[in-house]
Chains A and B, each alone.
Chain A
Amino acid sequence: MSATTTDAVISYDEVLERYDPVMGLEVHVELGTLTKMFCGCATEFGAEPNSQVCPVCLGLPGALPVVNEKAVESAIRIGLALNCEIAQWCRFARKNYFYPDMPKNFQTSQYDEPIAFEGFLEVDLDDGTTYRVEIERAHMEEDTGKSLHVGGSTGRIHGATHSLVDYNRAGIPLIEIVTKPLRGAGERAPEIARAYVAALRDLLKALDVSDVKMEQGSMRCDVNLSLMPKGTDALGTRSETKNVNSLRSVERAVRYEMCRHGAILDGGGRVVQETRHWHEDTGVTTSGREKSDADDYRYFPEPDLVPVAPTRETVEALRGTLPEPPAQRRKRLQSDWGFADLEMRDVINAGLLELIGETVEAGATPAGARKWWSGEIARRANAAAVDVSTYAAEHAITPAQVVELESLVTSGRLNDSMARQVLEGVLDGEGTPTTVADARGLQLVQDDSALEAAVDEVIAANADVAQKVRDGKVQAAGALIGQVMKAMKGQADAGKARELILAKLTP
């Protein structure tokens, strides 16, 4: 679908001249629990529509919810990892509104008593500095079903002839993480937004509470944005851009909304408080539902559930299960591995941190692990337009195989160019590095007499070059080494060839 109307925008530089952006980010994360938030139904993604439903998540008359304890644990761990306080006693609340894909016509959520509140997340920016994003709250709720609007050209409800509803997603546990309004970010607002969502994704992955797949909707970001005229501290009217579902889109959506708001305010207009839809293809937002203060969800405490009251012992026990914070872990690994800042950043941006970590753990040198993963494998993944770990999984290349490859080089069996050929073979599905090397007959010649004979032949055939070396021009030996390697069909150790040549031609 693409946006049909285009709003006026001003340039980013113009926005920054006259306004300060204020943004708030709301991230919804589907937890990776085996069962739903309030019933025992499975949560598997992509199952046959309406195959993972029961009276509870279909909202049938008489059915009652029961809280998934695992989901509460995950929520508490997320809260702790975000440096939040954990409520000693909190309740669920009903958020009442009518929508066909919401079975009960209320969402069981949390309102003024979130399970976690008042936290922060340190976010690493591209220039190596850190920005602290203040977290207002993280609360538990259930997902809705999914509507599929059929018969229209856009897939949206407008123009559709009928709609199908899949309730498999209804009742999947969600955690909504809400930042405080982020002020003073200035020109870095879009970057900070992206970096925050990326940091949050890494954190949730490290916590192992969600598969955080933005493309599948298991992590979704809403961007609230408003502009303040420079020199004032009056908050402007905000727009809420829904379901921005990639890191790059988060950055683009913030930037776009800043430019759009700027144009409205420059023209003396008023920003409408509304929901906006983000269009990935055209990079613009369009107006959705108008949202006003009249929106009234009539929240009240959910009478079908008892309060959640984790004991301090439970909370502390969960704190003990937290992994090392990703930012801290990255710093530690960089120092352990001896990578330069730029090298480390490339590794992180290419999504190679885990693969390299596992490879080093399996016995490779950090430099070796980095060389192989960020070289040929990353190049191929890039060409296939998938991330490296997906590519690796699809092509059966594992950290253990990279270790094997490196050891074939260090043991002297292969040189670098042979190792690259072996890797190609592995990626093409020919087997493990050793199998590929055997099958392709790749093996450095270990027999010195063959090498010596080749050296003698090359010296005899290139008497003029040999003379230059004898005269002290040692760098001329390179040409001879090349000839020797050619004669040996590449299967010689170039270092050894050099040694032999120099031994024969220099005193």
Chain B
Amino acid sequence: MTTDLTRASAADLADLLSRGETSSVEVTTALLDRTEAVDGDVHAYLHVDRDGALASARDVDERRGRGEDLHRLAGIPIAVKDVMATKGLPTTCGSKILEGWIPPYDATVVSRLKHAGMPILGKTNMDEFAMGSSTEHSAYGPTRNPWDLDRIPGGSGGGSSAVVASFQAPLAIGTDTGGSIRQPAAVTGTVGTKPTYGGVSRYGLVALASSLDQAGPCTRTVLDAALLHEVIGGHDPMDSTSIDAPVPAVVEAARRADVSGMRIGIVRELTGEGFQPGVRARFDESVQHLVDAGAEVVEVSCPSFTAALAAYYLILPSEASSNLAKFDAMRFGLRVLPEGVDDPSAEQVMAATRDAGFGDEVKRRIILGTYALSSGYYDAYYGSAQKVRRLIADDFTRAFETADVLVSPTAPTTAFRFGDKLDDPMAMYLNDIATIPANLAGVPGMSVPSGLADEDGLPAGFQILAPAAKDERLYAVGAALEQRLLSSWGGPLLDRAPELSTAGTTTKGA
């Protein structure tokens, strides 16, 4: 049997490894070679750790050779979004201000990957400090969508989705503050899950907005997402907001793919105006597949969702303005001395560094957040936003009384062209309209590919939302839909993506 190791799912690779039909070194090498060939064009990685990945691959192969009892995903390589602290590996968050910073510790997610014996291939590109929906705000240049190199791969985690979509890794870690796992998954034809808030430790995840951030899996199949979710999920005493309960039975749900009798709620507010016709069409089709699989469809209304974007863009910048205050040139990262100042003060160095080190979008949000928290404005902005947040959570609670899961298109459009929304922040923000409510309420969400939009032939995403701590429902619905779509397509959606040039010529090296 000849399997293209770069195109195999993690579940299949795990079988091959356990049967001794391939080795972790072989898989890791194949993926690293693929990166060398295609990532000059895609630019999914900010940093590739060939030596480190191969060393841990060798280690796992040796342990397997000795007959050690290994984790199911042992030896399966993974890429990690550059927002996660990795001991000894650069962690820039897509920002100049962290250029050259090597964390002295591992994020909990990263140490769990290492503990499972998963080689870390490298760190993936992202919008600076996860602020954006296109990776155009990365200080190191954008990632390109493997479906069309002139288009955005989504954001902020465009690197993690593109790395998976371009077969440079079977798995990647993303983080989702307002859709940064789900929207990139949608526009690259991949799978992404934002677990319940507190389901995966945030320790070592460089915070954008602490009350919204959540790390999760980026994969090509629903089962792979479940397998990875299981590795990284679960209680962490280092994160006070981590849920002290076992990881929901996501793998079992993904395998059973059973939606019979399940009530699927279509959110009225997330399906109307502003959604691209091809995206709508794929969404309607997907709903029909679920009905065919035995689910029941109900329509639900979540009236407060219309205020979600406004609340989000007050809460996020407020928290971000405080979270990003630590980037002050005093203890780590970039230090810039102000020009033409003899004997500058610490405050002047801080100001010069932050001016040079932060990009425009980051500055925009720091200014917004600083303003929203100011005395005299706090109640009107941050205070009101928190009330809206409460109302959105109440909407979810009510909706989940009549539906087991809620569904919507993940993003209103397919991937847009570079520069299309760069000068119009509001248009960029609107791309997250369907994903943001889940972050505000802390409920889990998933995006699975629903097909290609007729008008542009680009992937669209189907979003599933479940009640907090019921992440397994995402996997049941996602897997059932995936099964039916795969048989209707006659193979994975990504098989229809254009072949990337493997010349390995263009700009950047690892």
Q: Interface of A with B (CB < 8 Å)?
A: 55, 58-67, 94, 96, 98, 100, 103-106, 163, 165, 296, 298-300, 303-306
Contacts and interface: CB of A to CB of B under 8 A. Distances in A.
B80 to A, nearest CB: 12
A298 B326 contact: no
A61 B326 contact: yes
Given A165-B330, A296-B375, A300-B373, A96 B322 contact: yes
B207 interface: yes
Given A64-B202, A66-B237, A98 B350 contact: yes
A55 B85 CA distance: 11
Contact of A55 (B101, B105, B382): B105
B211 A100 contact: no
B104 A55 contact: yes
29 contacts: A55-B85, A55-B105, A60-B105, A60-B331, A60-B332, A61-B101, A61-B326, A61-B332, A62-B103, A62-B107, A62-B204, A62-B207, A63-B105, A64-B240, A66-B238, A67-B240, A98-B325, A98-B350, A104-B326, A106-B325, A163-B346, A296-B374, A298-B375, A298-B378, A300-B318, A303-B319, A304-B210, A304-B241, A305-B240
B89 interface: no
Nearest to B209: A303
Nearest to B84: A62
A298 B330 contact: no
Contacts of B238: 64, 66
Given A163-B346, A303-B319, A105 B240 contact: no
Contacts of A299: 373
B262 interface: no
B328 interface: yes
A1 B382 CA distance: 45
Of A61, A98, A103, most B-chain CB atoms within 10 Å: A61
Given A62-B84, A65-B240, A96 B319 contact: no
- Chain A at the B interface: SS class: loop
A59 B373 contact: no
A103 B347 CA distance: 14
A163 B346 CA distance: 9
A62 B240 contact: no
Contacts of B321: 96, 298
B465 interface: no
The 7 A-B pairs of least Cβ separation, nearest first, read A105-B325, A298-B373, A303-B210, A303-B211, A62-B204, A62-B85, A61-B206
Contacts of B312: none
B206 A66 contact: no
B287 interface: no
A61 B210 contact: no
Contacts of B306: none
Nearest to B351: A98
Interface string B226-240: 000000000001111
Given A64-B203, A67-B240, A305-B240, 5 more contacts: A58-B331, A61-B93, A61-B332, A299-B373, A300-B319
Of A94, A106, A300, most B-chain CB atoms within 10 Å: A300
Contact of A104 (B104, B211, B325, B373): B325
A61 B322 contact: no
B328 A105 contact: yes
Contacts of B210: 303-304
